[in-house]
Every structure is written in structure tokens, then in C-alpha cells.
Amino acid sequence: MKPLEYGGRPEDFWQEIVPAGTYDVAPKAGFGDFFPAQLSDGRQLALPIRKRAESGEALASLIINQASLSVLETLADDLAGRVRAYRPDVIVALPTLGLALAQETARRLGHTRYVALSTSRKFWYDDELSVPMRSVTSPDQQKHLYLDPRLQPLLQDRSILLVDDVLSTGASIVAGCRLLEKCGVKPDLIGCAMLQTARWQDALRAHDPALVERVIGVFASPLLIRRDGGGWMPADNASEVG
């Protein structure tokens, strides 16, 4: 029995949402080169599996600015539907990949603008409104996260939805929370397209335990480990399947 393989070209990833049941979500031989993420209605999105050389583990990857516009729109539709009942006043976006998702989500919630945080310092920025930040996709790059001071008044006395594309280690979302706190506010809700493993919970819990229960993701993906003689398996059941 062979691991489940995608069969398409690498550039075809993230281009199509397919019907429920298109891919086996628990193949006995494991996953080969992709992981089928599932939306709330059962539809699926094929995500490439990326091996982490330092650990031998792997993660399903979502690069949302390489996704087709229809995929981005579907993810924004889903996220907006999940958060609409909370009626956020302001959508704040983490750069860089969270910007597109936040913009489309804001549009679907009837907002006319959103607040984009930045890792690029403009000359009029205030260093007091910045925090250091790292991400799982660029672990060796020390960045700083900034808020344009002219946008700070938009956050005052507002309910805030903080949006990123993926929650993985939790480092980026915690940086966003810290920057908002420098502005005298806190996010009421956190939204994302993918919850990549559950590692983000520890970082967010250490920062503010209450926020862990306020995270909303469109879909989740597990930590993957290689099964002997087979494909990639979710780390929590790799020894049980097959």
C-alpha cells in the first residue's frame, strides 16, 4: 500500500477547493506529498507537506498569497461566517500573509477598511509602537512589527479581530497582541485560515490564557511524522494507524 500522493504539479497546490470525500483523510499508508485539509462543510484543500530538516518532522503548508483568488475568497467566506456573530469593530492584520485574508474578511463583514500592521519601518513610525517578531517560515530572521501611529486612534474603544494566515508556534500572533497592548488595547478575537498543530496554544496561553479560547480557524493541520516504511502520519496517532 502506497502513501497518498497528490499527482499534480507543485504550482497547482492551493489552487482549488475540491468536493468533500475527494481525498482520503486517514490513509493507512500515510500521506505522501500532501495533506488534505478539510473545511467545516467537508470540502477539501490539498496542502503540500514540508519536512523540517532539524527535527525530521513535517508540517502542512499554506502560502495564501500563492493561492488562487477563489481559494482565498472561500477561506475568507468561511472565516467571516465564523466571526460574524462577534461583530468586531476593527480587523487588524498581521503581515505579510495575513493581509490578504484580513482584507477579504473585512470586506465580507461590511467593513470599509482594516488596519494593517507592518514589518517595514517608515520614517514617520514611532519605535515605541513596535515589537520584535519571528515566524515559523523564517525562523532565522529577526523582524520588528510596527503600527502606523496615524492608525492608532482607529483601535481605541473598539472590539478587535486580529487576523493572520496561519497559527503555528504562536510567536507572530503573540507579537501582534503585544503591539496592540502597547496601543492600550487587546484583541477580542483571533482569526486565521489554518491552525497548524496545537503548538501555538502554549505561547498564547503564556501570554494571556483567556485568548486561547478566542481563536477561530477555518481548518486545522497536525504535526506529521514519518511512519516506518510508509508515509507521513499525524504525530498523535502514527503508531495506531494501519
3-class SS of residue 124: coil
Distance separating alpha carbons of residues 202 and 182, to the nearest angstrom: 22
Q: Coil, strand or helix: which one is 68?
A: coil
pLDDT at 238: 42
For the stretch 5-9, contacts whose Cβ atoms lie closer than 8 Å and that sit 24 or more positions apart, written own/partner, are 5/32, 5/33, 5/34, 6/32, 6/33, 6/34, 6/46, 6/48, 8/46
* pTM to 2 decimal places: 0.91
Residue 193 grid cell: 485560515
| Look-up of cell digits 475540491 | 18
pLDDT in tens, the chain (242 residues): 788 899 888 899 999 999 999 999 999 899 999 999 999 999 999 999 999 877 789 999 999 999 999 999 999 999 999 999 999 999 999 999 999 999 999 999 999 999 999 998 888 888 888 899 876 555 556 789 999 999 999 999 999 999 999 999 999 999 999 999 999 999 999 999 999 999 999 999 999 999 999 999 999 999 999 877 689 999 975 433 33
Confidence (pLDDT) at 139: 58
The confidence score (pLDDT) of residue 128 equals 86
- Please report the domains of the chain, with CATH numbers, ordered by start residue: 10-65+222-234 (no CATH), 66-220 (3.40.50.2020)
Residue 137 has a pLDDT of 54
Quick count: other Cβ atoms within 10 Å of Cβ 217? 19
Whether 133 contacts 65, CB under 8 Å: no
Rounded Cα–Cα distance for residues 222 and 195 (Å): 8
* Amino acid 237: pLDDT: 57
